[in-house]
Amino acid sequence: MSFIMDNVHLVNDSKIQVTSLLIENNKFASIRNGFPYYRHTRMDTTPFIMTPTKVVYDSKIGVNSCLKDFRQIQKGYIAKGITTVITSFEPPFLHSFEKTLRKRRKELYNSVLDYALLLTCPIEKLTIDWIRTCQKTGIPAIIVRISGQAISTMDMNKWRWFKEVVRFSPIMFLPQFDILDDKVRKKWEQWWENKMHVYFLPHSVEPLENGSQISLQNLKKIGLYPKRGKLLVGGELSYNLFYKSSLVDASSALLYDDSTLALTIQRGQAIYINGKINYSPGFGEELDQLFPNTFV
């Protein structure tokens, strides 16, 4: 089905532009100021703000949870305009990497949300072999778990080797500071930023927080952008519509109230309409073929 959306107040890169969209085959076929000579069915979106759908980080979604709990968690996310979740898996040993990955995918088999998988690995266990296995299996990023052991115990040479491994096949490094002591955490944060810059490793200094929306910068670094985070010509038909009355400040596209979500479209399917959730188990897809650090 083809149709035109007119008077679209479109949010991209934290800015609002008024435009028109041509939709064909569940994709954004064209974005222009208008389509005056087209005879397509038209949809007036004047009362709404259109945004990309949101991405959240949840490391434990689907882990050891019953279907009822899994369903409720996803419904809560959908009600906020979230259609994609970034989650992780943590193999106990390198030889169990693929087995643990298969198990994690099985846990997400009935997911309504699209998802991307990252590896979590303690900093002391991280080696070149872990990185190469991620490259081989298409895992775009490694969450490096730092628990606060003495910095002096770290093998500094391995980070130099990591630089060579990721030069032509980037893997993003993300920190996870499991440290309660503020002084120790600050030292590790400084160490992390310094080592990443010294060896020119693709990285973020911003940890992923459970239950929090992923920033546009981290979407780019992990490789989900432009599949997520921006509405582009040729991109899939996934978007949120918020009532324009929720806009607090017309100069800022970010200040709108999540409770005024009117519609969420995920790959051409309406999964949220004015408070009603269309829950279809298994509709979610794994996002693969990601290219970390490409659009940073």
DSSP state of 260: G
The pLDDT of residue 150 is 63
Please check the confidence at residue 234 and state whether its pLDDT lies above 80. yes
What are the structural domain ranges in the chain? 2-53+229-277, 55-222
pTM for the structure as a whole: 0.91
State which H helix or E strand residue 32 sits in.
strand 27-32
3 state DSSP class of 194: helix
Task: Using the Cα atoms of residue 201, residue 206, residue 209 and residue 215 in order, give the sign of their dihedral.
Answer: negative
Question: What is the architecture of the domain spanning 2-53+229-277?
Answer: Roll (2.30)
State which H helix or E strand residue 261 sits in.
strand 261-266
- Burial of 224 per CB tally in 10 Å (0-12, 13-18, 19+): buried
Please check the confidence at residue 155 and state whether its pLDDT lies above 50. yes
- 55-222 folds as TIM Barrel (3.20.20)
The pLDDT of residue 291 is 86
| Residues above pLDDT 70, as percent of the chain | 94
Give the confidence band of 253 by pLDDT, cuts at 50, 70, 90.
very low
